[in-house]
Amino acid sequence: MSTRMPIEVSIAVSKAVQQADVDVIAAYPITPQTHIVENLSGLVANGELEAAFINVESEHSAISTVIGAAAAGASTFTATSSQGLALMHEILFIASSLRLPIVMVVANRALSGPISIWNDHSDIMAERDIGWIQVFCETGQEAYDAIFHAFRVVRDPTVQLPMIVNVDGFNLTHVIEPVFLFEPEEIKDYLPEHRQALRLDIEHPITMGPVGVPEVYTEAKKQVEEALLNSKQVVMAAWQEFGQRFGRSYAPVEAYRADDAEVLLVTMGVISRTAMTAVDRFREAGKAVGLVRFRLWRPFPRAEFQEAVRHARILAVIDRHISLGALSGPVCLEVRAALFNLPDHPQVFGFVLGLGGRDVTVDDFCDIVERAERYATAGPEGDYTLIGLREV
């Protein structure tokens, strides 16, 4: 019987990794991921987790080491944030093109510069194209559960792709939340054994990572794309099974009081919870405001998103990353792209807030809804609105 206990989310995440039969962990410390890897190394040191914990000398080597281990057939895990994720950048594409089942937690933190240790989504938004499955979490329970989903999904033989679980740094990783933790026997059957067809094996010597001549490069990328698109059904099946077994259901796009909403806030990650409070406030005042949030970010869940926002008049899309020089934040861009070809769709307005750990409040969301309604009749004030900006 799982026990519900107050626990720091980072620790809960590490406990989930502990129960996932991981073989090799290679990580480099970076705030705010540190508690995850510290706890894991403690579990290994105490014999509570039978895995190799490798203290690498940089994140670039963390992902490289994990790739080497995965290529040898091991179940692998790493975690990072911000600059660490950016340092891994060139190798991340290779992890997916090599079709390796790696699980990584990103404790979302702003990218330098200026240097910031606080939470926003700029780190993960710089990695949209890497070919990894990507999900977001809002609560400690979700972060804990997501680890099991991830190991199950990457081990599916039709997937063979690495996966990122995003956990907002500090705002989620460092808070203490009530989480139902599994007993090992409960969760064991949910996770398949880690088996890999293609690996480094002297009995079957293969060449991994050859030169992708022009004649094959396009097809190689298409193959990863198809695998990524197909992974959505595997992710959803994993969520469905999880829901049946344990009573907690997840979906690619989740709605909150959205059925008859005229205005929908669109969010990702921990601020969704704050947005829900704003929605409640509007509903109490009799306004038809709701919330839709992405759980699955890659592959982009187009069908689910279109369905979720179909009946709304206005979408206020929240980005926690400023894509310098672009027409709006990346989530807003993709939302617009998802709706563009529909004969009829809501008006879409982009908002950027909570950069570099700037606090995101219920009042901010109220402000956003009011602005969105104003823009709907009076026209937007620019391509997107930066909330909370001080002019002088």
Partner 1 sequence: MQNALKDFEKFDPQHLPLFEPLAQGHRACQGCGEVLALRLAAKALGREMIVVSATGCMEIISSAYPQTAWRVPWLHVAFENSAAVAGGVDAALHIMKEKGKIARDDIPILVVAGDGGTADIGLQALSGALERGHNFIYLCLDNEAYMNTGIQRSSSTPYGAMTTTSPPGKLSIGENHFKKDLPAIAVAHKIPYVATVSPAFYLDLMNKVRKASLIKGPAYIHAFSPCPTGWRHAGRYAVKMARLAVQTRVFPLYEVIDGKYILNRKTPKPKPVAEYLKLQKRFAHLTDGDIEIIQEHVNKEYERILKLSEEVDLETKFTSTFQQHIDRLKQQMDEAYQKMREEIVHH
Partner 2 sequence: MPEKVEKRAIVGWRNLVPGCAILEPGNSTQLLTGTWRLQRPVIDAELCNLCGLCWVYCPDMAMTKTAEGRYEPDLNYCKGCAICAEECPKNAITMVEEEE
Q: Which positions lie near partner 2, rule CB under 8 A?
A: 97-100, 160, 198, 204-210, 212-213, 215-216, 218-220, 222-223, 226-227
Q: Which structure tokens are listed for 343?
A: 């004969």
Beta bridge partners of 386: 352
CB of 100 to partner 1, least distance (A): 10
Could you tell me which stretch among 119-127, 173-181, 202-210, 257-265 binds partner 1 (CB under 8 A)?
A: 202-210
- Contact between 85 and partner 1 per CB under 8 A: no
Residues 10-69 that bind partner 1 (CB under 8 A): 23-24, 26, 50-52, 54-58, 60-61, 64-69
Supply the minimum distance, in Å, between the C-beta of residue 215 and partner 2: 4
**Environment class of 52 (CB within 10 Å of its CB; exposed 0-12, middle 13-18, buried 19+):** middle
The bridge status of strand 347-352 relative to strand 314-319 is parallel
> Quick check: 322 binds partner 1 (CB under 8 A)?
no
User: What is d(CA 136, CA 168) in angstroms, rounded to the nearest whole number?
Assistant: 8
Query: Would you say 48 or 90 has its CB closer to partner 2?
Result: 90
For partner 1, the closer CB: 70 or 179? 70
Per CB under 8 A, the list member of 91, 236, 255, 326 interacting with partner 1 is 91
What is the rounded distance in angstroms from the CA atom of residue 310 to the CA atom of residue 185? 42
From partner 2, partner 1, none, which one binds at residue 1 (CB under 5 to 8 Å depending on kind)?
A: none
Are 175 and 8 in contact by the 8 Å Cβ rule? The answer is yes
| Both structure tokens of 201 | 């094996």
**74 contact partners, CB below 8 Å, separation of at least 6:** 23, 24, 194
* Interaction of residue 157 with partner 1, rule CB under 8 A: no
Closer Cβ to partner 2, 212 or 382, answer by number: 212
Sheet of 289-294, strand order: 253-256, 289-294, 263-268, 314-319, 347-352, 384-386
By the 8 A CB rule, do 54 and 65 touch? yes
129 is a site residue for partner 1 (CB under 8 A): no
By beta-carbon proximity to partner 1, the closer residue of 204 and 390 is: 204
What residues make contact with partner 1 under the rule CB under 8 A? Answer: 23-24, 26, 50-52, 54-58, 60-61, 64-74, 76, 90-91, 94, 98, 200-202, 204-213, 215-216
